[in-house]
Amino acid sequence: MTEPLRKASVSSWPFVANSVAGSCAAASAIAPDYSSVDVEHEDIRGFMPSMTMPLGVHDKQEIEGVRLGDAIAFRLNVTDQEVWIDNVKKISANGVRLPTPSPAATASAQVSDRLREGDPMPHFNLTNQNAEPVSLESFRGRPFVLTFVFTRCPLPNFCPRMSNNFEELQAAIKAGSGRLVTTRLLSVTLDPDYDTPKVLSDYAGFHHADPNIWTFATGDEKQIDALTRALSVYRQTEAGTISHGLATALINKEGEIDKIWRGNAWAPDEVVKEIQAQH
């Protein structure tokens, strides 16, 4: 049975920092180096509903004996920088209480649709945090960096890390010169039903976003799905939250994709170097 989250302090927008909770889950994938395991976990009261997601471990021995389909119990640890599990134990499958899958759940990400570096960025029509239209043409003649987030994301090394990285990029742009100073940032929500322009405006304020540099955008489901498919970002609504992947792209002033970073391991200085290397 899942334990409620024990809150120690709140230090960032969407998640509780320095907290722990117990949970049970079914293992659906295991990293070859045993650095993480994909799980479908139960509701974690006070933190997040049941969803499928990758969870890292600090000690690889924690999951070396876990096999696909195993039911496990674990402790979830959350700080303002990362999330990981420990105290992993195999349990009976009857001990995992998962919701019945919703037939309305939709996923986006098809390898055949994946954009590659050098491809033109597809057109899009979205709405920014000021309820104004924003499109590919809004950035024409300037390089821009695009990533995906949603404001209710509870995991510090997912959406909050992307937004913190963009906050660092914004500071670099303001202090930069040449091509860098002309660069703009675009964060597209994965949760358009909840992330209205007002919600995005509040979230932008929390991250000290300068609207002249950093745009947050929402849109209808078709527009969001088109962008996530194009950049091969997995996105699925599960039990009121979003299970998703991550991708960040640098688009040059001609509207072509210069670089795509997949996952959350990229650092702001990598992006700055790529921008400065543009011709």
255: CATH: 3.40.30.10
Query: Which residue's structure tokens are 């079914």?
Result: 26
**Least confident interval from 31-45, 72-86, 228-242, 259-273:** 228-242
Tell me the pLDDT band of 88, cut-offs 50, 70 and 90.
very high
Strand 51-57 to 83-91 pairing:
parallel
Of 37, 64, 95, the domain-final residue: 95
Are the C-beta atoms of 203 and 196 separated by less than 8 Å?
no
Assess whether 135 and 71 both reside in one domain: no
% of the chain at pLDDT higher than 90: 49
Assess whether 121 and 67 both reside in one domain: no
Average pLDDT score over the chain: 83
Assess whether 127 and 189 both reside in one domain: yes
The pLDDT of residue 3: 47
Residue 221: inside a domain: yes
Which residue did the predictor score with more confidence, 71 or 3?
71
* Tens digits of residue pLDDT in 252-265: 999 999 999 988 88
As a whole number of angstroms, the longest Cα–Cα distance in the chain is 60
Task: Give the burial string for 89-99 (b: 16+ CB within 10 Å, else e).
Answer: eeeeeeebebe
Assess whether 119 and 73 both reside in one domain: no
157-165 average pLDDT score: 89
CA distance 222 to 252: 25
- Structural domain including 23 reads 19-95
Tell me the pLDDT band of 21, cut-offs 50, 70 and 90.
low
Please say if the pLDDT value at position 11 is more than 80.
no
Assess whether 27 and 129 both reside in one domain: no
Assess whether 142 and 249 both reside in one domain: yes
Q: At a CB cut-off of 8 Å and minimum separation 6, what does 222 contact?
A: none
Please say if the pLDDT value at position 216 is more than 70.
yes
Identify the sign of the CA torsion 113, 118, 124, 130: positive
The pLDDT of residue 16: 43
36-51 average pLDDT score: 74
The pLDDT of residue 1: 46
User: Which CATH number belongs to the domain containing residue 63 in this structure?
Assistant: 2.40.50.320
φ and ψ at 275, to 5 degrees? -65, -45
Assess whether 143 and 209 both reside in one domain: yes
Global pTM exceeds 0.85: no
Residue 6: inside a domain: no
Assess whether 61 and 141 both reside in one domain: no
Residue 115: inside a domain: yes
CA distance 268 to 101: 38
How much of the chain is in helix, strand and coil states, percent to nearest 5?
Answer: 20, 35, 45
Assess whether 155 and 195 both reside in one domain: yes
Please say if the pLDDT value at position 49 is more than 70.
no
Assess whether 152 and 124 both reside in one domain: yes
68-79 average pLDDT score: 86
Residue 10: inside a domain: no
* Closest CA relative to residue 241, chosen from 108, 107, 50: 50
CA distance 230 to 225: 8
101-107 average pLDDT score: 46
Are the C-beta atoms of 227 and 188 separated by less than 8 Å?
yes
**Least confident interval from 91-105, 111-125, 156-170:** 91-105
215-232 average pLDDT score: 93
CA distance 62 to 176: 44
Assess whether 74 and 173 both reside in one domain: no
Assess whether 206 and 155 both reside in one domain: yes
String of DSSP letters for 170-208? HHHHHH--TTGGG-EEEEEES-TTT--HHHHHHHHHHTT
The pLDDT of residue 109: 43
Alpha carbon separation from 98 to 25, 26, 150, 255 (Å, rounded)? 8, 9, 23, 44
